Structure 1
Amino acid sequence: MWNNQPIIDWISREGRLFEDPVALLDGLMATLNGNGFEIARMRIALQALHPQVAVWSYTWDRQTGARLREVTHSIHESNSYFGSPIEEVNLHGKPVRIRLAKINRADHHHVVGELIDMGLTDYYCTRVTFSGNRWCVLTIATENPEGFSDDDVERFEALLDQVGLILEIHITKRIAQSLLDTYLGTRTGKRVINGQIRRGDGETIRAALWFSDVRDFTVLTETLSADQLLQSLNAYFETVEGAVREKGGEILRFVGDAMLIVFAQEDGDTSETVCERAVAAAQEALSALEITNTNRVADSLPPLKFGVGLHYGEVIYGNVGGAHRLDFTVMGVAVNRTARLETLTKQIGTPLLMSDVLARHIAAPTVYCGEYPVKGVAEPLKVHALESAMSTHSENRQKG
């Protein structure tokens, strides 16, 4: 008579303490196989709550151990999913058992043939039920020439409730982290989930700051349909996000068509490092938008333009708000100056301007544009632009 107690004990004492699902799966498989199972491959498909990712798929095999694959939403419209055992289990909720060594592969979904090519002889796919009418799909396969015995399957099914407990903990935590990353940003989301949640919690940091907004946005709202306007905004946001993420920046806030972005000076960073990253990200975003605009014009849509103000300084990074609605943001005079710099891009006629403070921390030559009095700042702002941008701007004006 088989005994699952050692596996249940491991789950309740050790398995539940793992922070990383990949490490958990490695430990679980070592425990299962060490207690009489002969499982060569396991896959756990957890439904994500993420704008790009539909499924977090964790797969373990003897050769590579556990690994994570993020599967996009398009999977549910693909031939890899239609007609597969996983789709059948999702639709009907009943387990699927396929004795791989005893079937005609032509009668089954192509994924079954792929399992046979791996040398697997038996396959079992089932749901693991969570609270709130949610579930994940879990599959196991073996290389044993005899396949799984009926006792193996029954014994495994008896463990699903215990396995489900720790999987639900992990998927709940991962969804929470994913939502925080999506709506607050990776660094900010991590601070919140680690407990920095009380009003007034915060710290003083040094950072390169970015403020940008779309040119002629009012005109766009009056001339484009709602769908076209949303598509236009998303094109702009996506262009900026791609450049900013690559350079280590974080979008902290959307304000209509405006964006507040932080390149925080963290351990190992210098003031020069974060300022160079901010400038490089701005240049890349502006260049990338030119490509986007080529496609927009071809689709009879107006081109998008935006201005960027960059500054470097000290800000308070933390929680503000009411008792029941908080915002994690940056505050301080440096933020106001950054926004005012962006406003000056319209007056000076170049899309990228920076403070004299930031200009001193980058290697690229800049042009001093002058001192400009702005609202809310006691002293006039000393404004710089990239020399290369101003040269191009001057040439274009002469051609015009």
Structure 2
Amino acid sequence: MDNHDVDRVAAWLAESGLRGETELTLLNGFCERCRAIGIAVSRAIVIIDTLHPIYEGRGFRWREDETDEAPLLEFKRDVDGASTESWQSSPFYHLIAKGGGELRCKLHAGETAGFQAIEELRVEGQTDYFAKVHLFAPDAIIGEMDNLASRWTTAQPGGFSDAEISALQHLTPILGLAIKSASLARVPVAVVEAYLGRDAGRRVLAGRMSRGITEKMNAVLWFSDMRGYTTLSETIASDQLIPLLNDYAEAVISAVHGAGGNVLKLMGDGTLAIFTDTDPAAACLSAMRAEADLRQRLAELNARRAVAGEPVSTIYLGLHIGDVFYGNIGSEDRLDFTVVGQAVNEVSRIASMCRSADRHVLFSTAFREALPSDEQGKLVCVGRYALRGVGRAQELFTLDPELVAGR
């Protein structure tokens, strides 16, 4: 191994990072090239925090030998503190606490620096350990993404040579920059999908951000809200309100997404979603699958909350189909990617009629007529209603109670 070999690995890292290769591709390619030039890496881990509603960080692993270990690690947020003690006893935490830097332990000589994790590597036959933590400058921190940690071990007799350690010291910052670039590319995807929804998020990331640019489409519209939410919000303890909203929102959103729908907007306890398909009947059937899934989820949720002595509720749902405008609406400084049109107004009014009709779900006449004929019979008329803000009265339908009971 000479300087030219190390420079070739560095050049590959820079080119691959600019191409936008994934973190695992970068780590795998890097380790293979290191071994090819004489750096006897046998195991490697790189960890970087992220900005994501569920995951706090991601780890990437490589090993020269066969293993059933997953190459990708996703660390969920430690809400209850169960992982805190383990993390605080780790070499990475030690390095971060002292402001970054390196840690080397010559395992073949019995060095472990007092860390159980390093001792386990020694027992498994690793002969040398080299870890490095890069702290980001304050202006370069995004959310909790404030450092990149890497760990390298070898199983060769005598451990790493001085030249191998020097090469790793030179190359790991370049690998870290490439991995940081790949991880940063995931941040806008996570953010826009979390706050705009899957489909709207993809459209925004594709460049559809111009004010007033909309698309006319025919879509099934879903509008749901929680029964008695206003009363609940005024009567339950404040520390129970957010868990209540989260539980019922989770049930609604999971049901919509599970059936291929897109949630566009959360409004307190309300949810606006759409289902689209080139065949309107298929979109309607997807919405009905979501409704059936939601009923099941609500039954399980209410049973769990009742056992825990927590307040329970249910969801009122309106389903409609019609033409809407889908796109960016707002000012030059603040845009919202959503749907507007008379059909949106109608579906919200239909949902609001659930209380008067004493039904958990109501379907518009247009929705029923868009269904295949054999599915239309599953809906029964509950009456003709004048909807506030809608020009004409219309018949509303609900699921045949006998079919619901038999499912």
- Please report the TM-score for the alignment, with normalisation by the length of structure 2: 0.86
Matched residue of 1:308: which SS?
strand
Matched residue of 2:92: which SS?
helix
Q: Distance in 2 between matches of 1:314 and 1:244?
A: 20
Residue 158 of structure 2: which of 146, 153, 170 is its match?
146
Q: CA deviation at 1:306?
A: 1.7
In the superposition, relative to structure 1, how do residues 80 and 264 fare at CA in structure 2: closer, same or farther (>3 Å)?
A: farther
Unaligned runs of 5+ in 1: 394-400
Indicate conservation of the 8 Å contact 2:17/2:182, yes or no: no
Match of 1:397 in 2: none
Residue 90 of structure 2: which of 69, 74, 84 is its match?
84
Q: What pairs up with 1:323-342 in 2 under 5 angstroms? A: 323-342=332-351
Indicate conservation of the 8 Å contact 1:89/1:95, yes or no: yes
Indicate conservation of the 8 Å contact 2:198/2:263, yes or no: no
Q: CA deviation at 1:38?
A: 2.0
Match of 1:396 in 2: none
Match of 1:188 in 2: 200
Q: Distance in 1 between matches of 2:313 and 2:295?
A: 10
Q: What pairs up with 1:247-396 in 2 under 5 angstroms? A: 247-265=259-277, 270-359=279-368, 360-361=370-371, 364=375, 365-388=378-401
Matched residue of 1:14: which SS?
helix
Matched residue of 2:132: which SS?
strand
In the superposition, relative to structure 1, how do residues 179 and 97 fare at CA in structure 2: closer, same or farther (>3 Å)?
A: same
Q: Distance in 2 between matches of 1:389 and 1:184?
A: 38
Q: What pairs up with 1:111-150 in 2 under 5 angstroms? A: 111-112=117-118, 114-116=120-122, 119-132=125-138, 134-150=146-162
Deviates more, 1:301-310 or 1:23-32: 23-32
In the superposition, relative to structure 1, how do residues 391 and 112 fare at CA in structure 2: closer, same or farther (>3 Å)?
A: closer
Q: CA RMSD in A?
A: 2.7
Match of 1:16 in 2: 18
Q: Distance in 2 between matches of 1:309 and 1:298?
A: 29
In the superposition, relative to structure 1, how do residues 375 and 339 fare at CA in structure 2: closer, same or farther (>3 Å)?
A: same
Q: Distance in 1 between matches of 2:110 and 2:2?
A: 28
Indicate conservation of the 8 Å contact 1:254/1:260, yes or no: yes
Residue 38 of structure 2: which of 21, 36, 39 is its match?
36
- Please report the TM-score for the alignment, with normalisation by the length of structure 1: 0.87
Deviations 1:56-95 (A, max 9, x none): 1122223479932211122964254231222222222232
Indicate conservation of the 8 Å contact 1:15/1:27, yes or no: no
In the superposition, relative to structure 1, how do residues 278 and 145 fare at CA in structure 2: closer, same or farther (>3 Å)?
A: farther
Indicate conservation of the 8 Å contact 2:13/2:26, yes or no: no
Matched residue of 2:134: which SS?
strand
Q: CA deviation at 1:172?
A: 2.0
Q: Distance in 2 between matches of 1:392 and 1:50?
A: 40
Amino acid across the alignment from 1:98: C
Matched residue of 2:316: which SS?
strand
Amino acid across the alignment from 1:122: D
Deviations 1:122-179 (A, max 9, x none): 2221113434262111112223233211221121111233223222322222222211
Deviations 1:293-338 (A, max 9, x none): 2333344433212201112233222111011001111122222222
Matched residue of 1:181: which SS?
helix
Q: Distance in 2 between matches of 1:207 and 1:146?
A: 67
Deviates more, 1:136-145 or 1:10-19: 10-19
Residue correspondences, number: 389
Match of 2:180 in 1: 168
Indicate conservation of the 8 Å contact 1:367/1:390, yes or no: no
Indicate conservation of the 8 Å contact 1:354/1:384, yes or no: yes
Q: Distance in 2 between matches of 1:107 and 1:157?
A: 23
Deviates more, 1:301-310 or 1:165-174: 165-174
**Between the two proteins, what is the percent identity of the paired residues?**
30
- Ranked by relative contact order (alpha carbons within 8 Å, sequence separation 6 or more), the top structure is 2
